[in-house]
Structure 1
Amino acid sequence: MFSEPVQPTRATQKRRTAARVVEAAAQLFTEHGFQDTTVRRIAARAGVSVGAVMAVGDKESLLGLVYDQAIADRIPAPPAPVEGGRAPDAAEYLAHYFDPFLALFAENDELARAYFRTLARGRPENAALGTLRTLTEDNLKAALVNAGMPEVRARLGAQVMFAGYLGELMLLATRTTDPEQTAARLASTARFIAAQEGRDR
């Protein structure tokens, strides 16, 4: 007995449309830059209406979604604890955790600055940043705990590390520093945080 093909639900269609819109926006931002990309162009590239694009977000919101997804795709997993041997080097993991993100921002300076401006405005559409923060802090905390740090202190260390990362990104956006200095300062912060493991509680 043949069954009728299952039609995608409205929610599924909405997710697929949103994914097409974000992908089209990513392509156009890369090809034409942020300023020269319009919502109309994004709609044409995605094969949807302007209204469908705006249902996903305006141009700034779409740039945020593009970067948030690109960052999430590059997040490295924390090192697993070593049984019966040396604990994984938390300082090394924390020091280089943000390297893929810094490389991403270095790929397109103009887009990176536009993304930073979006973050600085603190718009509601930046909710994805909260998700990224949670995932990042969970990974950093896990690395510290796996290296032997108490969980409460590891959580605080992860929060400090993420806050430092955001601060360094803002300095990069205003061109008051460069990627090498940023990497060096993040490494110093990582070593400082990891060194707290042996201190009194």
Structure 2
Amino acid sequence: MFGEQVQSTRAVQKRQTAARIVEAAAQLFTELGFQRTTVRRIAAEAGVSVGAVMAVGDKESLLGLVYDQAIADRIPAPPVAVAGAEAPDAAEYLGHYFDPFLALFAENDDLARAYFRTLARGRPENAALGALRTLTEENLMAALVHAGMPEARARLGAQVMFAGYLGELMLLATRTTDPEQTAARLEATARFITAQEGN
């Protein structure tokens, strides 16, 4: 019993320390930029050792955690169908689902590009991207199903929408497009997906 309490306390302390480290990293990345931020500086800002920071992750991993949390905080809930009311507009929801994420990436172009490079490397700590994909596809699918699309087709539409979003992020990262063009293409993709059922 006592051993379980000690383990529980240590687990809580570990989570709190990790959260403090990610918060310090987010602050320094924003203030100094990715290149000028060092693990040693993150450790000092968080009030922990360099080893404690490295236990959470290296600089790229920390940037991934910062963005993953910021993205998770902005995920819009799917529209809910109300009995007797008109079905929610799936094209509108899909077309603007990624707007908060695009706004996040536009806030700091240099950090966004560093984050995209981390994603492109496909490191194991990018597991959060898989969780984001799952949640996003479930939300998009729910919106399509609520609008009357069969579930199998809605799942495929949600997958296409997410893949389109990732492609657009990569184009933004390489500066071959701009946020307005990205938003317009995502809206066009949403209209295309929803039009396949004759909506």
| TM-score (normalised: structure 1) | 0.94
1:114 aligns with 2:114: yes
SS at match of 1:9: helix
Residues 1:86 and 2:86 aligned together: yes
**Structure 1 residue ranges, 4+ long, deviating more than 4 angstroms after superposition:** none
Distance 1:85 1:139 in 2: 20
C-alpha separation in 2, matches of 1:9 and 1:129: 29
Equivalents in 1 of 2:39, 2:51: separation in Å? 9
Match of 2:142 in 1: 142
Q: Please give the per-residue CA displacement for 1:77-132, whole angstroms capped at 9, x wherever unaligned.
A: 01101312211000000000000100000000000000000000000010111111
User: How far is the alpha carbon of 1:37 from its aligned partner?
Assistant: 0.2
Looking at structure 2, the residues matched to 34 and 92 of structure 1 have their Cα atoms a distance apart, in angstroms, of 35
Aligned pairs for 1:6-155 (under 5 A) are 9-155=9-155
Q: CA deviation at 1:11?
A: 1.4
Once residues 66 and 85 of structure 1 are traced to their aligned partners in structure 2, the CA distance between those partners, rounded to angstroms, is 39
- Aligned-residue identity in percent: 87
Distance 2:56 2:16 in 1: 11
Which letter maps to 2:34? Answer: F
Instruction: Please tell me the residue identity of whatever aligns with 2:123.
Output: R
Aligned position for 2:158: 158
In the alignment, structure 2 segments of 5+ residues that lack a partner are none
Q: What amino acid maps onto 1:123 in structure 2?
A: R
Q: Deviations over 1:158-177 (max 9, x none)?
A: 01000000000000000000
TM-score by length of 2: 0.95
Cα RMSD (Å): 1.2
Letter of the structure 2 residue corresponding to residue 36 of structure 1: R
For residues 158 and 59 of structure 2, the distance between their equivalents in structure 1, rounded to whole angstroms, comes to 32
- The residue identity in structure 1 corresponding to 2:58 is D
Secondary structure of 1:197 counterpart: coil
Question: CA–CA distance in 2 between the matches of 1:146 and 1:21?
Answer: 41
The range that moved more, 117-126 or 75-84, is 75-84
Amino acid at match of 2:141: K
Q: In 2, Cα distance between the equivalents of 1:169 and 1:159? A: 15
Partner Cα distance (1:56, 1:195) in 2: 45
Q: How many residues align?
A: 194
